[in-house]
Amino acid sequence: MPAIVAIVGRPNVGKSTLFNRVLGERRAIESDISGTTRDPITALYEGEKVDFLLVDTGGLEFDETGGTIEADTQTQARLSASEADLILFCIDTKEELTKNDYETAQLLRRQKKPVFLVGTKADSGKKIEDFPELYSLGVGNGEPFFISAAHNKGVQGLLDAIEENLEKRSFQKRFKHTEDSLSPIRLAFLGRPNAGKSSLVNAILGKDECIVSDIPGTTRDTKHTEINRDGQDFCLIDTAGIRQRSRIEDRIEKYAIMRSFQAISDCDIALYVMDAEEGVTAQDLRILGEIKNMFSGVIIVVNKWDTQEKGQEEQEKFLNVLHREIQFLQWAPVLFVSALTKRNVPQIFPLAKNVFLERQKRIGTGELNAFLEEVQHLHTPAGTKNSRPHIKYGTQVETSPPHFIFFGRQLSLLHFSYQRYLEHRLRDTFGFHGTGIKMEYRSAGKNPYAPKTK
The C-alpha atoms of residue 3 and residue 173 are separated, in whole angstroms, by 10
| pLDDT on residue 30 | 47
Q: What is the pLDDT of residues 181-220, one digit of tens each?
A: 557 899 999 888 778 888 898 889 886 544 333 434 433 3
The C-alpha atoms of residue 20 and residue 6 are separated, in whole angstroms, by 13
Q: What is the pLDDT of residues 277-322, one digit of tens each?
A: 888 888 888 888 888 888 999 999 999 888 665 678 888 889 999 9
| pLDDT on residue 24 | 80
Question: Which has the closest alpha carbon to 89: 108, 112, 76, 61?
Answer: 108
Is 48 a residue whose pLDDT tops 80? yes
3-state secondary structure of 62: strand
The C-alpha atoms of residue 113 and residue 165 are separated, in whole angstroms, by 12
| pLDDT on residue 218 | 37
Burial-class residue 312 by CB neighbours within 10 Å (0-12, 13-18, 19+). exposed
Q: What are phi and psi of 91, to 5 degrees?
A: -125, 135
Q: Cβ(389)–Cβ(383) under 8 Å?
A: yes
Domains of the chain: 3-168 (3.40.50.300), 185-359 (3.40.50.300), 365-443 (3.30.300.20)
- Residues above pLDDT 90, as percent of the chain: 36
Q: What are phi and psi of 336, to 5 degrees?
A: -95, 125
The C-alpha atoms of residue 243 and residue 200 are separated, in whole angstroms, by 19
Q: Cβ(442)–Cβ(407) under 8 Å?
A: yes
Q: What is the pLDDT of residues 116-132, one digit of tens each?
A: 999 999 876 777 778 88
Burial-class residue 444 by CB neighbours within 10 Å (0-12, 13-18, 19+). exposed
Strongest mean pLDDT among 214-218, 238-242, 247-251, 426-430: 426-430
Q: What are phi and psi of 388, to 5 degrees?
A: -130, 125
Q: CA-CA-CA-CA torsion for 357, 337, 294, 182, nearest 10 degrees?
A: -40
Is 171 a residue whose pLDDT tops 60? yes
CA distances from 185 to 421, 422, 446 (A): 30, 29, 40
Contacts within 8 Å (CB) and 24+ apart, 19-25? 19/43, 19/54, 19/56, 20/149, 20/449, 21/149, 21/150, 21/152, 21/155, 21/449, 22/54, 22/155, 22/159, 22/452, 23/54, 24/449, 24/450, 24/451, 24/452, 25/449
Confidence band for 383, pLDDT divided at 50, 70 and 90 = confident
Q: What is the pLDDT of residues 62-116, one digit of tens each?
A: 655 445 444 444 555 566 677 789 999 999 998 899 988 998 888 888 888 899 9
Contacts of 360 (CB under 8 A, 6+ apart): 177, 399, 400
Contacts of 32 (CB under 8 A, 6+ apart): 12
DSSP annotation of 338 reads: B
Least confident segment among 176-185, 248-257, 300-309, 356-365 = 248-257
On average, the pLDDT of the chain sits at: 80
Is 260 a residue whose pLDDT tops 80? no
Helix (H) or strand (E) holding 395: strand 390-398
- Residues above pLDDT 70, as percent of the chain: 78
Question: Which has the closest alpha carbon to 439: 407, 380, 352?
Answer: 407
Q: How many helices (H) and strands (E) does the chain have?
A: 11, 15
Q: Cβ(28)–Cβ(37) under 8 Å?
A: yes
The C-alpha atoms of residue 418 and residue 388 are separated, in whole angstroms, by 13
| pLDDT on residue 375 | 96
Is 229 a residue whose pLDDT tops 60? yes
**Strands 51-56, 41-46: pairing kind:** antiparallel
Task: Give 356's Cβ-side CA count (13 Å radius).
Answer: 22
Handedness of CA 259, 262, 266, 272 (dihedral sign): positive
- pTM > 0.75: no
Question: Which has the closest alpha carbon to 436: 296, 285, 266?
Answer: 296
